[in-house]
A = this chain, B = another copy of it.
Amino acid sequence: MRQTNRPLGRPHMSDRKKPTKEIILENAVKLFLKRGYQLVSMDDVAKECDVTKATVYYYYSTKAELFTDAMVQMMIRISDRIKKILSIDRPLKDNLLEIVKIHLRATFDIDLKTFIKDAKISLTDEQMIQMNYAEEKMYEVIENAIENAMNKGEIPQGNSKFATHAFLAILKVGNFRDMNNQSIINSIDEMANEIVNFFWRGMKV
């Protein structure tokens, strides 16, 4: 007779322990996004993962490397999400609206440039290149969609790079909170509309 209580067959995904390296990376992403490079110590990461600092160093030989990996991985994930939305075949404006809404619902909002500057002195050139590359890729996804729309005549021809960054910039208006932690417009849907409409009007001749 079987003695153990383990169910028959392959264990559920959740039962199998995730590789430690992944655990570390995920927690690192979370912590870095919340507090920034300087305010996260390797000890913090270790504690969050329930391993020792030495274990973190076993997988990532410097904090800068962990940061780079964490950021790149995050940017890739963001790129993928955006790409997925933009691949839906409907007017660009609808897709952008969707992106804005998702962004507004997300809990974090950082300014990549200021954010990375915090880590810059610790990063090697190679690491900077990796991050920059991932960053550009992220922008390209949107840029391509805009160029597409321009070619299709959805929006007038123009500087797609400028458009991309203008879009990303206005996106952040949605994250603004005043002294009393109040947003400019309370409803997320209304805010999203306002943002996309503003952008859309800006793009027109």
Contacts and interface: CB of A to CB of B under 8 A. Distances in A.
A51 interface: no
A22 to B, nearest CB: 22
A83 to B, nearest CB: 20
A30 to B, nearest CB: 15
A179 B130 CA distance: 10
Main secondary structure of the interface of A (DSSP, over half): helix
A176 B167 CA distance: 13
A102 interface: no
Interface in A32-83: 35-36, 38-39
Interface string A111-125: 101110110010000
Given A38-B118, A202-B201, A165 B184 contact: yes
Given A118-B39, A166-B198, A132 B179 contact: yes
A204 interface: yes
A138 interface: no
| Central interface residue in A109, A114, A133, A178, by most chain B CB within 10 Å | A114
Nearest to A122: B39
Given A39-B118, A169-B169, 13 more contacts: A36-B118, A38-B38, A38-B39, A114-B115, A118-B118, A133-B179, A159-B185, A159-B194, A161-B184, A162-B185, A165-B176, A169-B172, A201-B204
Interface of A: 35-36, 38-39, 109-111, 113-115, 117-118, 121, 129, 132-133, 135-136, 159, 161-162, 165-166, 169-170, 172-173, 175-176, 178-179, 184-185, 194, 198-199, 201-205
